[in-house]
Structures are given as C-alpha cells and as structure tokens.
A and B are shown apart, each in its own frame.
Chain A
C-alpha cells in the first residue's frame, strides 16, 4: 500500500497568513494526488485534483503543487472559513489512501 504522510499535523495561523501543508507519498505517484477540506460534522470537500488542478468553485487562494512523492497545498491568504482539517489522498492505485490530516487552527 502507498503510505501518505502529512506535515504538520496541526498549524496555528491568523487570518491573512500564508499556510503550507505538505504531503509525502511512500512511493512515486506522478501527479495522482487530491486535497480535501473537512469542517467539523461535515463531509470532506474536494479542493485540488491531479496535484494542481483547482476544483470548480474553489477559491483561487488555494493551490497545489508537486509530483512524484512530494506535494504541497498552499492557502495564500487564510480566511475565517478556511479553518478546517485538510487531507491529501493518492489516486494512483488501490487501495486508495489518505494522509492523516492537518488541522488548521486559529492563532
């Protein structure tokens, strides 16, 4: 199975800050990576697919980059509605696997 490791596990940030979350795959996955946002009590929401493609309707302050084993999700200017938990997921092979999540908290 491909292991996905996110860092940090949590980050405290203020509105307007730039936030970067990293995701590392245990083996190369080309650009087969997605990012999700999940708020408490809600279903996850797709933000980014194919490592850097923005899902329709997602604000442009969200961006993704990387390929192979190392990936990043960047929020260019954190907004109040962005405080949530973020997950990466490899979409390359079965079993589909997620990172453990990164919680973005208010500083």
Chain B
C-alpha cells in the first residue's frame, strides 16, 4: 500500500525558515517524480514544486522560486521542501504527491504551515 506521510509543519514568524519532509513507502520511490501541492485555508489547490525520480531535475511555481528548495533522498525514501523567507501568503496545508504523466495519483494527508507574527 502506498503511503505518504508529511511532517515538519508548524507556526513560524514571517521571514523565518521551515523544512518539510514526506516519508514514502509501498512503492519504488526513486522511480517516481514527486511534487508538493499546497492549499491555503478555504482556498483551492496550488502546485508548488516538483522533482524528478533521480533528483536531477526540479521545477517551481513562480510564487516560491528562489525561496523554496525541493530535494529528495532516495536512500531514505524521503522528499523534502526547504522553505526560506516565509510570508503570510505561504500559510497553507502542504501535501506531497506522486507524479505520473503530470497528474498526482497518490497524496499524503498534509501538514499545516502557518506564517504569522
């Protein structure tokens, strides 16, 4: 059974940094691209970043480019999102998801990031 478990969310002040993790199991992690997708409270879905199976290729939404870094450790079956210079508008539930053909076929349960002073 595919499982994706996010962790690392919490309350941080504007300008601070936070790192999210997504532990994967039940599939061959290194064979799949992975993405982070977020959802602000009461709002729709927003794709944040994606990384190829090998980790050699990454893409970012313009809203986070230069502030967020997606990475993975295939030996640990774990996906990461390093978030720097956080803003109030980054407040959201962050989901990790497997990517197949550009769509997201498995999702984690999400972790809430709140940016507030």
The interface of chain A, by Cβ under 8 A from chain B, is: 32, 34, 36, 38, 42-46, 49-50, 55, 87, 89-92, 94-101
Given the known A-B contacts A43-B95, A43-B109, are A98 and B103 also in contact in the complex, defined by CB atoms under 8 Å?
no
Given the complex of chains A and B, what is the CA–CA distance between A31 and B106 in angstroms? 20
From A36, A49, A55, A98, B46 is in contact (CB under 8 Å) with: A98
Q: Find chain B residues with CB under 8 A from A94 CB.
A: 50, 59
Counting chain B residues whose Cβ lies within 8 A of the other chain, the interface size class is: 20 to 34
Q: Which of B95, B102, B110 has the most CB of A within 10 A?
A: B102
- Cross-chain contact A46 with B104 (CB below 8 angstroms): yes
Interface contact A44-B45, CB-CB below 8 Å: yes
Q: Residues of A contacting B95 with CB < 8 Å?
A: 43-44
- Would you call A95 and B59 a contact (CB within 8 A)? yes
Q: Which of A45, A87, A89, A95 contacts B107 (CB 8 A)?
A: A45
- 16 A-B residue pairs with Cβ-Cβ distance under 8 Å, sorted by A, are A34-B102, A36-B45, A42-B109, A43-B110, A46-B103, A46-B106, A49-B105, A87-B44, A89-B45, A89-B103, A91-B102, A96-B35, A96-B47, A96-B102, A98-B44, A99-B44
Among B42-71, those with CB < 8 Å from A are: 44-47, 50, 59, 61-62
Question: What is the distance, in angstroms, from A24's C-beta to the closest C-beta of chain B?
Answer: 16
Task: Pick the contact of A95: B44, B61, B104, B106 (CB < 8 A).
Answer: B61
